[in-house]
Every structure is written in C-alpha cells, then in structure tokens.
Amino acid sequence: MKIWAIVSDFPKVTETFALANVQAFRAAGHAADVFHIKPFRSGEIVHPEAQGIVDQAFHLGYAAPRTLGLALMGLARSPLRALRCVRRIVGAFWRQPRHLGVSLMLVPQGLALGQAARRAGVDRLYAEFAGYPATVAWVASRTSGIPFGFSAHAHDIFITQGLLATKARDASFVRTISEFNRRFLVQRAGVTQDKIHVIRCGVPAERCDTPLPVAPADGHPFRILFVGALLPRKGVDVLLKALGHLPKSLNWELWVVGGGSQETALQAQAAALPEGRVKFLGPQPSDVVRAAMDEAHLVVVPSVEGEAGRSEGIPVVLMEAMAQGRPVVASRLSGIPELVEDGLTGRLSPPGDAHALAARIEKSLTSYETAVRMAAAGQARVRADYDIGRNAADLLALIKGD
C-alpha cells in the first residue's frame, strides 16, 4: 500500500512521533512518504535513523506553478466538491479571520495534493494533526476520491474546533492519543464517538530495558533534566522558580536540553540561582538526549496551558523518561495523568504552581527509593501501553481499513 503522511512543519525535532509512524509503515512493507505543508526546515536537527525519510519528503509551494497547475486539474475534475469545501471552510471560520485566511490559502495545495496523489497511485492519505494537515488531506480526498484519516494530538484540537466535525465525518477514522482528547472531541467538537479510536504515541520497547537509577554518591548533586522547546507553554520559567524554593541543603543541578524563543530570558532567570547549578545544552540529537536521560535522577515536565489553548497532549519526552526508568514530576494537564498516575508511576503538580512543583521535586529527591519504585511502575506502564511498534501497527490497521 502507498501512504502519504501529511504534516505542517518538517522536520521538527519535537514531533518525532510523526517520523516514527512513517518508519513503522515502511518497516511493515508499505511505501510511505511525508508531505509537508510549510517549506522545509533546513536548520532543524535530524536524528540519524530518520534521515532517509527526511530526504524523500516533499512539498508543494503555496502558489508555485506546479501547485496551481495541479490545483486547476483538481478543480476541473471535481468543481462542485471543491466549491463545497470552500463553502464549509467559510462557514466554519467566518468569525475567525486568521483561521479562515490560512484555510482558504491551503485549498489550492489540497487540490494539488489530491491530483499528485492520484498520479502517484497513492492508496491512503493520513494527516498527523487535526488542524491544517487534516484540512489539506480533507480537500485532497474530497476532490480525488482517495480515503483519508487523521490524528488529534493537542493544540490541533484545543485552539479551534472549527471544521473538526466536518473533517471527522468525511474521514475514514479519527485517531487520538488520550481518553481526555476523546472526551474533548465528542463534547466540544461534536465528533461522533464511534469514529474515534484512542491509540497512544510511544517509544521503542527496547528503551524499557534501561536499568533504574541510583541516588548520587555523597557530595554529588541530584541531576534534574528538562527536555523540550523553550517556549512559554513548556513552563521552564515555573521550573526555575520552583528550584529557587528548594532547601539550600539539597544538592541539585539542572540540565536544560532544547532551544526556543524564551532561551535568553530563561538564562537570565537562571542567573539568580546558585552559580553553576543550571546548564543550558541547546537542542540535541536523539542519542545525546537518551544519554542525558540515562544520567538524570529526575525528569521534570512542568507544562502549562499556553496562549489560545496551546497545550500538551501526552509529551513523548515523558514516555522516553519513564521508559528509561527515570522518576518524573509532571503537570496535571490534559492527558498526562493517563501516563503519570500520581503516587504510582510518578508525581503530578498543578500547572504553573512553582511552590507545589518545588514540593514534588523535593519529595522525589529526599525520598529517592520511593521515587525509584514509582519509576519502575512507570517503566512497566510504558512497556504495556506505549510501545511505538505495537501502537503504530494499530494505527496502520486503521489507515488500511482492517
């Protein structure tokens, strides 16, 4: 089977699950490639195992001659369906000018993609996100006749629910990553319950073979690790505030892996903490991230709800940390409690509450044997429910219509 997976930004180091799915489709013997809506992100780190997929990914410029030519072919082939798509978009977003403008701008790309897919003999279109990628896939499917389905992760459904019910009705399936998202789609977006399938993201099962950590030797600090984009919704500023509330007698250091718009401000904030305690390592490839987790005593994911509903789903970094047997502290947000069960597989903290986060971190480090027992339970949870091979196979079965 030939499958085209549709994303917005590509490659994107924070969306490794999208590449992992395509890798799994290829491993199962299918011809799978990535179509990215926006221009190629040439400055992004590419993990070595994904290089082949990245090299073969493709893009159609918004107003490039080839795009417009294929779009005209799609319009000529299915004029009424194309016009109905435009009408649906206008009806969904007429009160949201930004979403209306972007969605209409994507119609030619959707038309062009549909015709390119027909020419290439594509059997299925799969959008990795419920927002603009699903809109492009929907237009392509409606005007080419190629079935499509899409996944719903986090802010792709939280920011706006416009057009979601329409896309879900026409899709072969809607996959989402958490029960939280399933309830949201039914209650807030009007998606029918029977169309939605909960299939988690995940990590390779062999990652769960990592030995559990031990407390540092006397005189050595507990190493706390944050991995992620340095953006407001990631809550790194809250983490730094929390560290300032820890007892002076507690010996700790923080490694921050990632980059983003807040980096300079966060470095300035960290300067108020004891010198040398916080190290900013910048964005790193997957092997370096994995090694950093191996050396960590605690991984903290202090996410908060971002602007205009931008929020986490279930961060892959949590799955990776728990697979490697690291104790975790995370925010009680969105679908995170389905993975981090407070007091059983890790500790949860109210989003944005620096004092509460400090208390959870202190408890984890001062009762480290208990934290490691939770980490063992978390490792078992990931092995049972967040195996990327098994979950990608379930997703592939949906795409194939099995």
DSSP β-bridge partners for residue 35: 6, 58
- What are the tokens at 124? 């299925």
SS3 56: helix
Measured torsion, CA atoms of residues 348, 349, 355, 360, in degrees rounded to the nearest 10: 0
Rounded CA-CA distance 127/116 in Å is 16
Rounded CA-CA distance 329/361 in Å is 7
Rounded CA-CA distance 380/364 in Å is 19
pTM: 0.93
Which domains, and CATH codes, for the chain?
2-202+387-400 (3.40.50.2000), 205-385 (3.40.50.2000)
pLDDT in tens, the chain (402 residues): 999 999 999 888 778 888 889 999 999 999 999 999 999 888 777 767 778 898 999 999 999 999 999 999 999 999 999 999 999 999 999 999 999 999 999 999 999 999 999 999 999 999 999 999 999 999 999 999 999 999 999 989 999 999 999 999 999 999 999 999 999 999 999 999 999 999 999 999 999 999 999 999 988 999 999 999 999 999 999 999 999 999 999 999 999 999 999 999 999 999 999 999 999 999 998 889 999 999 999 999 999 987 766 778 899 999 999 999 999 999 999 999 999 999 999 999 999 999 999 999 999 999 999 999 999 999 999 999 999 999 999 999 999 997
Task: Collect all residues with Cβ–Cβ distance below 8 Å to 370 and sequence separation of at least 6.
Answer: none
SS3 202: coil
Residue 249 to residues 129, 230, 297, 299, 365: CA-CA distances in angstroms?
46, 28, 17, 20, 12
Rounded CA-CA distance 90/100 in Å is 6
- Cα distance between the two ends of the chain: 13
Rounded CA-CA distance 328/344 in Å is 11
State the SS3 of 89-119: HHHHHCCCHHHHHHHHHCHHHHHHHHHHHHH
Q: How many angstroms from the chain centroid is the CA of residue 80?
A: 35
Q: Measured on CA atoms in the order 3, 155, 392, 202, is the torsion positive or negative?
A: positive
Rounded CA-CA distance 59/77 in Å is 22
- What are the tokens at 297? 């005593």
- What are the tokens at 400? 């194939």
